[in-house]
Amino acid sequence: MLLAGFFLFEETSAFASGAPASPSRPDRYVTDLAGAIPKDRASALNEKLAAFERETSSQVMVYVDRKVPEGTTLEEFANRAFRAWGVGQKGKSNGVVFFLFTDGPRMRMEVGYGLEGAIPDARAHRINVEVIAPLLKAGDVAGALDAGADAILAAARGEPYKGTGKTEAERRRKASPFLIFLPIGFFIVIIVAFLFAFRAAWRNARRRGRRGSSSSDSSWTSSSSSSSGSSSSDSSSSGSSSDSSGGGGDSGGGGSSD
């Protein structure tokens, strides 16, 4: 008993790392919290980045906000967010996130381990300085992001990753009904089986109480009550908007700030 208490404590000994927590993973490729780009441009860019993941499996994301959160630096924020979101495929870490903070403006391109060969720091820096910064200076945020994304995609093609024709989000969406309903169906089967068993036991006990022994009634049949998760109302996937899901990529701080 006492020991159990200690074990509980052990599990909760989480440690604080000082920096504020990263925002949760955006479910789109393009996130604009600053309202800096028109909706249609954002969704066009989103579509382009989704197509790139289908083709190459590399994930390129764009994150726009007003300013870097208090208590952290641009570089730290970018690296922690990249890691928390798991951008890129697991084991390949082939992801890039372009962060833009419009008050400043400040930007950082965070490159995952798997794309550092194709987008080394110097290349990232040049894209920032030569492609994105001039358009930002001219006030064309959407154009800057478009041109920047094109440059990143062109650079990322230097690494021969092959896509599966699906994004991570599309693959998960396909798998999820099964994964969700399997345990639920199993649970229902078990509960129904228990109910039948209890009913049988109770009846037996009552009968025995009334007329002594009498033995086996064999109402232990039960349990064939399938109720499988009923396969979920068809499709629901392949909506027009392309979502993004993390695959578990990691970055060691590659890339470049402005």
Partner 1 sequence: MGKSVALGCIVLVLVGVLVVGGMAAGAYNKLNAADQGVSAGWAQVENVYQRRADLIPNLVETVKGAANFEKDTLTQVIQARASATQVKLDANSIKDPAAFEKFQKAQDGLGSAIGRLLVSVEKYPELKANQNFRDLQTQLEGTENRISVERGRFNDLTQSYNTLRRSFPTVIVANFAGFKDRPYFKAAEGTEKPPPVKFN
Q: Which of 17, 26, 14 is nearest to 59 (CA)?
A: 26
Contact 88, 53 (CB under 8 A): no
Q: How far is CA 21 from the centre of its chain?
A: 16
Give the one residue of 55, 75, 159, 243 binding partner 1; rule: CB under 8 A. Answer: 75
Q: Using an 8 Å Cβ cutoff, are 95 and 174 in contact? A: no
The least CB distance from residue 100 to partner 1, in Å, is 18
Neighbours of 180 (CB within 10 A): 12
In the complex, the smallest distance separating the C-beta of residue 105 from partner 1, rounded to whole angstroms, is 19
In sequence order, the 6+-apart residues with CB closer than 8 A to the CB of 256 are 108, 109, 121, 122, 124, 125, 128
Name the residue with tokens 């009498």: 214
| Least Cβ distance, residue 39 to partner 1 (angstroms) | 34
CB 253 → partner 1: shortest distance, Å?
4
Q: Does 248 bind partner 1 (CB under 8 A)?
A: no
Residue number with CB closer to partner 1 (47 or 75): 75
Among 25, 48, 54, 125, binds partner 1 (CB under 8 A): 125
Which letter, b or e, does each residue of 21-54 get, where b requires 16 or more Cβ atoms within 10 Å of its Cβ? Answer: ebbeebebbbbbebebbeeebbbebbebbbebbe
Element (H, E) at 62: strand 59-65
Q: Which is nearer to partner 1, 28 or 108 (CB)?
A: 108
1 forms part of the interface with partner 1 (CB under 8 A): no
Tell me: does residue 22 bind partner 1 (CB under 8 A): no
* Binding test (CB under 8 A) with partner 1, winner from 79, 89, 102, 244: 79
Scanning 20-28, 121-129, 130-138, 223-231 for contacts with partner 1 by CB under 8 A, the matching segment is 121-129
Instruction: Provide, rounded to whole angstroms, the least separation between the CB of residue 186 and partner 1.
Output: 29
Please tell me whether residue 256 binds partner 1 under the rule CB under 8 A: yes
Q: Is 10 in the site for partner 1 (CB under 8 A)?
A: yes
> Cβ neighbours of residue 105 under 8 Å, at least 6 residues apart?
136, 258
Residue 252 as a binder of partner 1 (CB under 8 A): the answer is: yes
Residue 13 found at the interface with partner 1 (CB under 8 A)? yes
Which range binds partner 1 by CB under 8 A, 4-12, 90-98, 138-146, 181-189?
4-12
Q: Is 141 helix (H, G, I), strand (E, B) or coil?
A: helix
Q: How many CB atoms lie within 10 A of CB 230?
A: 10
Q: Does 120 bind partner 1 (CB under 8 A)?
A: yes
Q: Which of 16, 254, 61 is nearest to 167 (CA)?
A: 61
Q: Binding residue for partner 1 (CB under 8 A) from 1, 8, 15, 209?
A: 15
| Binding positions for partner 1, rule: CB under 8 A | 3, 6-7, 9-10, 13, 15, 17, 75-76, 79, 120-122, 125, 252-257
